Amino acid sequence: MAGVQDGAGDAAAHDAVAESAGTVPELAPGEEAAAERLFGDRLDLARRYVGHLATSGLERGLIGPREVPRLWSRHVLNCAVIESEFPAGAWVADVGSGAGLPGLCLAIARPDLSLTLIEPLERRVIWLEEVIEDLGLTNVRVLRGRAEQVADEVSVDFVTARAVSALSTLVPLTLPLLGGEGSLVAIKGRSAAEEVEKAAKVIRKHKGHSVEVHTVGDGLLEEPTTVVRIAVGSA
């Protein structure tokens, strides 16, 4: 019986992928204004990126089929809006980049930034490199490995991450990449303040300070993005 149930579940998942594959979501009227504001004359690149997410990204398991209809609102715009957190010409590392969220969104929205996407899984690294080549992005590179494994190779002004882990685990992984000075800009959910409270000792241990929880995209996105910002050094 278990085998029959498992087979049915696999078949349903396969059908969902097949149904969603090739369907590239369009921007809703309210989303289009936000996308134009965030991506400007590079909006066509953002559309192509969403096309990759909805096709090969889905087929290779980087995103789930249920996420396809909300790629713009829940993922791409949600990530791109944090571009306002970074000054011109900043060096930024995206830890656990996965499908390029938020790293590729930032690379498209802000060609002045220099992005390093840190991702341990080979299949994701291959996909990221394919997308970067197709989009012709010259301000981003992919580094395969876990954050703790590449700490000696990376020294940036800012580190960002989305849906990687709770702050108590994320802080030790990300703050060492700042080379003693810079900021972590982590995309978090509604429990951000609670995570900060639980991670207080870990943040102090790694010399983090000036902890802020705030939203970005107010008045631009239907649901603004919550960000936790933690500084080290004099940043």
| Predicted local distance difference test score (pLDDT) of residue 215 | 97
For strands 208-216 and 225-232, give the pairing. antiparallel
pLDDT of residue 235: 58
Does the annotation place 113 within a ligand binding site? no
Residue 164 clears pLDDT 90, i.e. is over it: no
| pLDDT tens-place string over residues 114-160 | 999 999 999 999 999 999 999 999 999 999 999 999 999 999 999 99
Q: Would the annotation count 85 as a binding residue?
A: no
Give the pLDDT of residue 18. 40
147 labeled part of a ligand binding site: yes
Give the integer Cα–Cα distance in Å for 52 and 58.
8
Residue 217 annotated as binding? no
Residue 184 has, within 13 A of its CA and on its CB side, a CA count of 30
Q: What is the pLDDT of residues 40-50, one digit of tens each?
A: 999 999 999 99
CA dihedral 212, 217, 221, 226 (to 10 degrees): -10
Model confidence band, residue 78 (pLDDT cutoffs 50, 70, 90): very high
* Domain range 77-232, CATH class: alpha beta
Is position 231 annotated in a ligand binding site?
A: no
Query: Which alpha helices (DSSP H) does 21-81 contain, by range?
Result: 29-39, 43-52, 58-59, 77-80
Separation between Cα atoms, residue 158 and residue 92, nearest integer Å: 5
